Amino acid sequence: MNYPNGQKKPVNQSHPKAKHSTNIFSNRGMSLEDDINVTNQYYLDMNKAVIHKKPTPVQIVKVNYPRRSAAVITEAYFKQASTTDYNGLYRGKYVDFEAKETKNKTTFPLANIHDHQIQHMESIIHHGGISFIIIRFTLFEETYLMPAEKLFHFWSDKLNGGKKSIPYEKIKQSCYLIPFHYQTRVDYLTIVDRLYF
């Protein structure tokens, strides 16, 4: 069986932490980015939101032309540090967020976030936009939404000599588990509705 977008349906296996659950969609076989892209396409198709992955600006330096019909880029550099992964519009509000996944079982390392990303998110909040981070713990197949304001608290603590990671248990208690659905694999707008509207 294939998904509507042509992707093959992954084999369903039991979740190690929830053997008795009947509503687990484990081993979906896609990265967080893939799942968000599928979700965003569904939002766009349903005219619910216009949110896209930001392209990373690249400066191409050298190109080889082995044949007339083919060009091979042999040297390129990032033009500038990227800000966050996704942005767009939802219900008249600017939405901007970062997406990260970790195989770590106990913490989310703050080394996955960069200072310029925090500054960017602070600017979004300052100007009335909605900003957050989506974190997936791949081993548990759990995906959480953390509002930027909570991330700022953990970041500030790190800068002042505190922990360099966020405990999984703290994320589980204070952030928002994003529901998985067939067409909206990372249905983050359900959480955005609850928090911001």
Q: Return the ∠ at Cα 154 (arms to 153 and 157), rounded to 5°.
A: 90
Q: Return the ∠ at Cα 31 (arms to 33 and 121), rounded to 5°.
A: 35
83 annotated as belonging to a binding site for a ligand: yes
Q: Is 108 among the domain residues?
A: yes
What are 1-42's pLDDT values in tens digits? 445 555 554 544 444 443 333 333 443 447 999 999 999 999
117 annotated as belonging to a binding site for a ligand: yes
Share of the chain above pLDDT 90, in %: 67
Q: Is 7 among the domain residues?
A: no
170 φ, ψ (degrees, to nearest 5): -70, -40
Number of domains observed in the structure of the chain: 1
CA distance 157 to 75: 39
Q: Which domain holds residue 151?
A: 32-196
What integer is the mean pLDDT of 61-78?
77
In this structure, what DSSP letter does residue 38 have?
Answer: H
Stretch among 27-31, 60-64, 72-76, 110-114 having the lowest mean pLDDT: 27-31
101 annotated as belonging to a binding site for a ligand: no
The pTM of this model reads 0.76
- According to DSSP, the residues that pair with 146 across neighbouring strands are 133
Q: Is 15 among the domain residues?
A: no
Whether the CB-CB separation of 93 and 196 falls below 8 Å is answered with yes
Q: Is 20 among the domain residues?
A: no
Q: What is the CATH number of the domain that holds 134?
A: 3.40.1350.10
